């Protein structure tokens, strides 16, 4: 019998086994965090209460967490503290209902870790009775199968989608097909928010990317650009365009392949220093970018003021015209 030390979460656990190291690691590397003892639960409670005032509702929520972690028959018991730290309001539901909801995800093929990730982001408002919720999950799984989407991965990012009707899902797909018929699945995987975002703001981003930046639908889908707000896309595009760096493709080349430069996947890099390093080759600094943003904000304000003055003038003119007609 050989003693091995296997890492579980932040802990090293002693394992005795006659098997070689490769098999021991294969058996234990995918297990969840270690089962919490009394000391671990107490430390977790202190951390939990530091996020929330130690009132009676918080104590009640914590008692739900403890109840779930002590259920010997649940494969989810090791994950509930993690869920509670991120989404404590979920525990206003009964422990029995939460266990039933997690069991639904497991029955549909999710791992305990995946179920944990979904529950960490799942609004309490989308969970009705277990039977109705399971029916909605089955509809979601079928919907994803039809589009060849990984239902768990997408749901992990947007659990709120379960609060929408299946007709709403289908209507959104119909809208997206207008521009992304050949890359729809990629679009949803890279930017799951396209299924739940307000259509007004989403269509504004789509039109800006397609018609102002002239990026191809395939490149938009792969880049995850629609997961960012329109103001970020606009400010970065204008910065590069006015610096003479952004190159629009010709009408002919756009039909064949995307030649807009820099590539959109570089423009939407979250880190500003990395964005500048990739798109300007280090020629422009963070300070210069921030200065540009300040000037752009001032320019936008002046433009809004001028537009408002024009509207006011038109209203006054129409009012005077009506008075003269009477």
Q: What is the percent of the chain with per-residue pLDDT over 90, rounded to a whole number?
A: 56
DSSP string, 250-281: PHHHHHHS---BS-HHHHT-S-HHHHHHHHHT
Quick one: pLDDT at residue 134? 94
pLDDT band at 5 (very low <50, low <70, confident <90, very high): very low
Quote the pLDDT of residue 309: 76
Q: Note the pLDDT of residue 288.
A: 96
User: Tens digits of per-residue pLDDT, 174-217?
Assistant: 999 999 999 999 999 999 999 999 999 999 999 999 999 999 99
Q: What is the pLDDT of residue 61?
A: 73
User: Which pLDDT belongs to residue 216?
Assistant: 92
Over the stretch 209-249, which tens digit does the pLDDT of each residue have? 999 999 999 999 999 999 999 999 999 999 999 999 999 98
Strands 11-17 and 2-8: antiparallel
Task: Classify each residue of 106-133 as buried b or exposed e, where b means 16 or more C-beta atoms within 10 Å of its C-beta.
Answer: eebebebbbbbbbbbbbeeeebeebeeb
Q: pLDDT digit string (tens) for 31-84?
A: 455 455 566 667 777 766 666 655 556 777 777 787 888 776 677 877 888 888
Could you tell me the CA-to-CA distances from 31 to 24, 107, 186 in Å, in that order?
12, 18, 30
pLDDT at 220: 96
Q: What is the pLDDT of residues 246-304, one digit of tens each?
A: 999 876 654 555 578 999 999 999 999 999 999 999 899 999 999 999 999 999 998 88
- In the DSSP assignment, the letter for residue 213 is S
Whole-model pTM: value is 0.77
Helices 166-180 and 199-207: crossing angle in degrees, nearest 10, is: 10
pLDDT of residue 21 exceeding 50, the answer is no
Other beta carbons less than 10 A from residue 303's beta carbon: 10
Indicate whether 26 pLDDT > 50: no
């Amino acid at each position: 019998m050989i003693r091995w030390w296997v890492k579980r979460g932040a802990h090293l656990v002693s394992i005795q086994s006659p098997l070689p190291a490769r098999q021991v690691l294969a058996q234990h590397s995918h297990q969840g965090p270690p089962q919490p003892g009394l000391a671990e639960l107490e430390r977790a409670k202190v951390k939990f209460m530091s996020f929330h005032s130690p009132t009676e509702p918080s104590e009640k929520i914590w008692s739900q967490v403890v109840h779930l972690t002590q259920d010997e028959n649940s494969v989810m018991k090791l994950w509930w503290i993690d869920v509670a730290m991120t989404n404590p309001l979920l525990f206003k539901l009964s422990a029995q209902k939460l266990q039933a909801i997690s069991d639904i995800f497991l029955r549909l093929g999710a791992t305990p870790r995946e179920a944990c990730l979904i529950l960490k982001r799942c609004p309490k408002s989308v969970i009705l009775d277990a039977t109705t919720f399971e029916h909605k999950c089955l509809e979601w799984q079928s919907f994803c199968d039809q589009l060849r989407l990984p239902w768990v991965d997408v749901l992990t990012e947007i659990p709120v989608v379960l609060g929408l009707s299946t007709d709403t899902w289908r209507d959104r797909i119909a809208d997206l097909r207008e521009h992304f018929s050949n890359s729809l699945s990629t679009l949803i995987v890279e930017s799951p928010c396209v299924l739940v975002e307000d259509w007004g703001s989403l269509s504004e981003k789509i039109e800006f990317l397609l018609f102002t930046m002239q990026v191809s639908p395939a490149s938009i889908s792969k880049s995850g650009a629609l997961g960012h707000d329109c103001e970020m896309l606009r400010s970065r595009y204008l910065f590069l365009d006015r610096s003479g760096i952004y190159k629009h493709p010709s009408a002919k080349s756009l039909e064949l392949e995307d030649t807009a430069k820099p590539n959109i996947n570089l423009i939407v890099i979250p880190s500003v220093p990395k964005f500048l390093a990739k798109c300007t080759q280090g020629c422009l600094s963070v300070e210069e970018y921030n200065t540009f943003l300040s000037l752009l904000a001032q320019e936008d304000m002046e433009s809004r003021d001028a537009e408002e003055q024009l509207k006011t003038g038109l209203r006054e003119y129409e009012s005077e015209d009506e008075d003269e007609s009477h």
